[in-house]
Structure 1
Amino acid sequence: MSEPDNFVEFPANTVIFREGDAGAEMFIIESGGVDILRNNRIDDPIANLGPGDFFGEMAILEDQPRFATARTTANTRLMRIDRAAFASLISSNVEVSIRIMRKLTGRLRRAELRIQELGDIINRGPAVPMPKVAGATNAGGAEAMFTPMPPIRAPKGGLAPPPIPDPLAAYGALVLVHEISRNRYPLRGRVEFQVGRPDPVTSSSPEVNLGPIDTNRSMSRRHAKIIFTGGHFKVREEVGTLNGTYLNGQRLRPGQEAVFKVGDHLRFGMVDLIVEADA
């Protein structure tokens, strides 16, 4: 391992730290890749991280042993950030700060859902014993009076679920078309669409995933949001977005909602899209 300044380099298939180790630093991937693994699922990574992703921040924030093992998947170069430099990173890099907050928010939401599930189980109380069927006798020899209903059999092939209505059907859906590759990104079936790149740190993937065509990584993971309201499509830049969101060449202010229609041009970072009718 070489250590020029605050960068470290690891060959492929090298363990950076193990679950349970003491930790006082986090890492940002400059090149290469890292798998995050738990001891009970050592062959099934819980996250696959690449350039721009970070890991190890929980040890700094919580002052607790490492939650999981980190192992390189290729020759990897990392920026190492210790506790002393962490505060500076948070204040100077808005995108990393927001992604850390989203990661913590996701953990809190999952914990709250689990608490609610356990509370529901407790509130339901013990299972009610089933009555005996006709013909059965109890300990005293008397026949039970309950007669069960015959089973209801579903038709062959099962019951088909009812179709989910498309909230945009009455208005006509739009499609975003990449000017170079001609890849198409339909806006249908929902009224909100996240635009960006997958984020393995928070285990999220946007509905409009432009990661494969954003070869320069010019977009933020959660770059913008497209919403359908009042019979119009609107685009809004997300908090902490880098490199801007543009409608017909005009950069949007953070939080500004702008209506777009067929024939308009959208730009997210360095990715240019044309708005067309989804025939």
Structure 2
Amino acid sequence: MSLAADAYLELPAGQAVYAEGDSGSTMYIIEAGTVDLLLAARGAEPIASYGPGDFFGEASMLAEQPRFCSAIVRKPVRLLKIERAGFADLLAQQVEIGIAIMRKLAQRHQQCELRLASALLEAAQKRKPASAPLRDAARAAPAAPDETLQQSVSPEPPPSRTTIEPPRASPPVAKLRGGCALKHGKGSVFALDPALNEFLVGRPDPRAGINPEIDLSAVDPTRSLSRRHARLVRQGQLFFVREDARTVNGTFVNNVRIGTGVDVPIKPGDTLRFGAVEVEFSAA
């Protein structure tokens, strides 16, 4: 299906695609660049960051409701506009677009559930009172002995009154954001931008406007990588790798091939292989 030139929108960094509260009859597919979604109540911290191949703005378009957040360009973008009026025709002519949208929505639903579970766990840990060990020790302390018992039994020294601090969980998010990277066996290090939550892994294609955040072409002499091979996704304290639908030579975690479009959790020390390129996921 051919698209008219006015179906595309190009914006510089810092420009708003739309603002929170605007009416929304258009969704956008990113061909190049990066867009952040922000909520006024959350300040300057993005609630999501999207890159090439991603889409946004579909919620307001489908539900016919105002924009619930603002979309701000982080890196200059080229966007394909899809209007509500032409959405059904587009799906009828391009069935694969509808399948890709449904897959992406399912992934976002799963990621929201993981975020919620992580937030509930963190809230439960914060509600745990720090003085609980002291109260338990006070309840277990024996009553004061009478005079007769004091004369026949040598008193033991009183128990230590040192405050018992509950164990504190280390902040994995701060650590990962400070120095997360992919390390190649020949010494190359591919650092992840701590400001982003999603990273395209692949090789560049200027004609198609593909500029992956993690360009592994320098360590891929056999060109085993697809242009859009996979994505690394950061969700709160968790990291995932997701293989793109157009990948040819496979994606592996610790020598186990992963399914296309499935978010597979990874941790520091895991070995990742994209085509023939093997790297280590590191937080150091």
TM bracket, shorter-chain basis: 0.3 to 0.5
**TM-score scaled by structure 1?**
0.48
Structure holding more helix per residue: 2
